Amino acid sequence: DGGITQSPKYLFRKEGQNVTLSCEQNLNHDAMYWYRQDPGQGLRLIYYSQIVNDFQKGDIAEGYSVSREKKESFPLTVTSAQKNPTAFYLCASKPVFNYGYTFGSGTRLTVV
């Protein structure tokens, strides 16, 4: 069954630590995206990648980093430079010539 998998579902991080969120898809989609959801602010784009070994900053990239070494994988690292990292993080993918995303089930990150 094709889909997009985010792990872990819940993640706790101490202040000052980096943490990496996993996103894997077996849909053979070229483009992948990371969004962050905060109450009342909708979904805001962090980073996106349209092809392997290439990615671009979204609207709120500060304090985050990504890599796209494989088509199937697009991990997001939340660094200690991110001032307010507690949020729900969503990964999505889509084929190049299609408008709609397929989303993962999300990762809830909490800084303790």
Residues near other proteins (CB under 8 A) are: 4, 6, 9, 31, 33, 35, 40-45, 48, 50, 56, 58, 88, 90, 92, 94, 96, 99-106, 108
Task: Report how far residue 111's alpha carbon sits from residue 14's, in angstroms, rounded to the nearest whole number.
Answer: 6
Closest alpha carbon to 91 in 20, 18, 24: 24
User: Which one, 13 or 44, has the nearer CB to other proteins?
Assistant: 44
| Shortest reach from residue 18's CB to other proteins, in Å | 24
Q: Which of 26, 41 has the CB closer to other proteins?
A: 41
Q: How far is the CB of 45 from other proteins (least distance, A)?
A: 6
Nearer to other proteins, 9 or 70 (CB): 9
Least distance in angstroms from the C-beta of 109 to other proteins:
13
Nearest to 16 by CA among 80, 64, 87, 81: 80
